[in-house]
Copies of this chain bind each other. A is one copy, B any other.
Amino acid sequence: MGLQGAATRERILHEGLDLLTETGLSGVTLGALAQHAAMSKSGLFAHFSSIEEVQIELLDHMAEVSAAKVVRPAMLAAAGLPRLKALVNNWLGWTTKAGLRGGCPVAAALFELDDAEGPVRAKVLAMEAYWRGLLTQLTRQAVELGHLRADLDASQFVWELCGIYLSHHVSRRFLRDPRSEKRAQAAFAAMLDRSRSSEEENR
């Protein structure tokens, strides 16, 4: 694969990411993708070996973008609660902040692929596992540093945090409620409130 080929591949994935956020995995067809990349279906498909490979590479590309826009900036914050807060803040509505037109593809895929088997589901499962692992890790660190209660169940904390994220997604994308942002922030604040350690309570 030469220079131009690699560039085209990049362009396909870049344009495709927008499509993915707007329509979900099922909307990423060769025809639609070709139209977005302004090239023929066959010309586009020459870069991949199956539509599943396209989907998986798009998910990989999304992971790179979110790592750059969501995770890395948050890691600059001080360890413990500040870092966790920063990550959650960057996470909520991250696609919009990243200049994408639609919503989080992983959130959509969690509902789209709940029954389907195969490599795409496995990919999404791995990404979700990684993400929840990261959240759990930062939560545990906040506990260790005394920012959160010592007896806090980190897994449960993350499980509820994901609920806030999903409710925010629905509220924003389906219900189109302008108060989505406030609701999510309030929910997160309330969850932190009852998770804080006593010596940190009045700050």
Contact = CB atoms under 8 A, between A and B. Distances in A.
Interface of A: 22-24, 26, 102-103, 107-108, 110-115, 124-125, 128, 153, 156, 159-160, 162-171, 173-175, 183, 186-187, 190, 193-194
A167 B174 contact: no
Given A166-B163, A167-B160, A187-B160, A111 B108 contact: yes
A102 B115 contact: yes
Given A111-B107, A111-B108, A114-B103, A167 B175 contact: no
B170 A166 contact: yes
Given A111-B174, A115-B22, A160 B164 contact: yes
A111 B175 CA distance: 11
Nearest to A166: B166
Given A103-B114, A112-B111, A115-B102, A167 B159 contact: yes
Count of this chain's copies in the oligomeric assembly: 2
A57 B138 CA distance: 46
Contacts of A26: 26
Contacts of A110: 111, 170, 174
Contacts of A115: 22-23, 102, 173
Contacts of A159: 167, 171, 183, 187
- Name, among A125, A128, A160, the residue most crowded by chain B CB atoms within 10 Å (CB to CB): A160
Contact of A113 (B153, B174, B187): B174
A18 to B, nearest CB: 12
- Name, among A111, A164, A193, the residue most crowded by chain B CB atoms within 10 Å (CB to CB): A111
